[in-house]
Amino acid sequence: MIQVDDLFLDAPDGRPLQQGLHLNLEPGASLLLLGPGGCGKSQLLRVLAGTVPPRAGRVRIAGVQIWPGEGALALAGRVRAGFVFAQGGLLSNQSLRDNVALPLRFAGTPPAEVRIRAEAALDRFGLLSVAGLRPHAVSACQRKLANVARVEALQPEVLLVDDPLEGVETADHPLVAGWLRGWIQDAARTLVVALEEAGDFGDLPVRRLHLSPICPAEESR
């Protein structure tokens, strides 16, 4: 499902992050991407999502080559992929409801189904009362929950999650952690989850990829 060959990653400022990274993640498998801040976890997720190119190397998602290539555009109409950002990730000029519905609309989902799925996802994460507000008018926690609700509504085949509990209030940790644990254990989904430490997900029998700054990655089970 996800193949990465000889990948070289740089930070936006040009600083080398990773070199010679290889990864082969089977359909339905999940990976915890672990390492300290600054080692390139978030940049790797962006590369896998097709939003930024690597310095070098090849990336394929479900057999579709995105780098070298067109990035996320190569996946359009072929693979449903979702991304939960650590921060941000919502369109500031759209309401939370519209942000959650947007990927479904891009996928050509019938309008009636878009409404049903978006409302159900908003309800699951306690956002119905603020669904008509724009991101700046809600809390950081509600913005993060809207990110999660967006992929819940989309039901992607491939899900990339950057620091799932970042910005989430302590009272809502069980809600998000329980949702993510369920997806990790769903054989119909392929997930990559970036964390500094395994934490709440350390007991799950999934693959782990440990990244260290500038050094080649070391994979373990």
Report which of 220, 174, 209, 164 is spatially closest to residue 31, judged by C-alpha positions: 209
Query: Rounded to two decimals, what is the model's pTM?
Result: 0.90
CA–CA separation, 82 and 134 (whole Å): 21
pLDDT at position 200: 82
Q: What confidence tens digit (pLDDT) does each residue in 34-84 have? A: 999 889 999 999 999 999 999 999 999 999 999 999 999 999 889 999 999
Q: What confidence tens digit (pLDDT) does each residue in 70-86 have? A: 999 999 889 999 999 98
Report which of 123, 141, 158 is spatially closest to residue 49, judged by C-alpha positions: 158
The single-letter DSSP state of residue 67 is E
What is the domain partition of the chain in residue ranges?
91-154
Average pLDDT, the chain: 92
Report which of 138, 151, 133 is spatially closest to residue 192, judged by C-alpha positions: 151
CA–CA separation, 60 and 48 (whole Å): 8
Burial class (CB in 10 A: 0-12, 13-18, 19+), 46: buried
Q: What confidence tens digit (pLDDT) does each residue in 139-165 have? A: 999 999 999 999 999 999 999 999 999
Cβ(45)–Cβ(194) under 8 Å? yes
Number of H helices, E strands in the chain: 5, 10
Task: Name residue, tokens 């934490």.
Answer: 199
| 198: pLDDT strictly greater than 50 | yes
